[in-house]
Structure 1
């Protein structure tokens, strides 16, 4: 099951400079607005919203930005069209299966922009259902792992309810049933793990390998997609 969203990977790989920070804030603010619209603005009862606010805080998003995004979602602040979540299905330049999640206030504009980025970088949009059946929706929790804890981290993750996990440097990605995301997150917190991010995710049922040259082309596509403010997550079938 292992594999994590490419949005997270890009951020860890390159860090967040000042120019990128505004792009990140915009993406998270749009997801917060969606979360607040779907489940209300109370973090105590809206777990999805709480996860998004935690994510915003982890990248030092200003409190005013967070509160404004929540109010936009609940309708207390009326400053534009309703933001909607859409998932596009696509193939990358080497037939990588991709799910591209966007948060947009103009679906026609965003579809055109994403399609153009894919076309210019060897990819293509495909019809709904052509890719999605290759993925399962799961819960994904990203945690920080101290070097000294690595020997017994596997047992702690299993005891916390993880169905699968992957470890890279000092970060672990923990996977759960979507319905168990909240309780596993709470279990990990009780084990004193630092939660970096928690969210619903998509994991490919089968993984494929590509060459280094193909990966370079694909990562260039990911960078171009990530530059678009509407693109919030990207999932694929790569090992």
Structure 2
């Protein structure tokens, strides 16, 4: 697995590189945003680890440029954990964030969680499973007989990990796809933020619920604002 690390502090860049290499990752690094963008365009990377504060092109702008052509997992690093940094990074398309200084074990856990999303299957949540009549209407398609979940003009291929709206493919970032799959597995069921953090972000501890809210906003922009309903004081649910 190859990680592109963009961090302007040389000490942090070297220490993070050494730590990740000890866990078996190959690390390609850059000290500024523009160099990071060049390295991103020149090679293939399994995950991008971006600092927020970078010279030239900052991490937020770099994340936006990456999202123009790629849905690779992006993990942002913020020195302050400032709400503005966090929200800006998530709105730019980042999948998750960590606050520096970050414990190596925590950083690796977040990286592993993001990388696992490529082979994601919806987890059984703490919520009661949806009854057969509450699920999206299953259909069989093609010779392989794969099941499609259909919600009006929204179609979710849970095996092929493909989504279409009115017959047109929808490009989702890894976390957006994982979130939609979790909703599609429990249509009409309210899922609270902690359940989503556990099942979608793979957090074994209480995480920042802002990542859920921002990802829901991004998902709504791509599949329709009224598709995911907010149930105030409880969480979110996918409309049947």
Same fold (TM over 0.5): no
TM bracket, shorter-chain basis: under 0.3
Bigger share in helix: 1
State the TM-score, normalized to the length of structure 2. 0.25
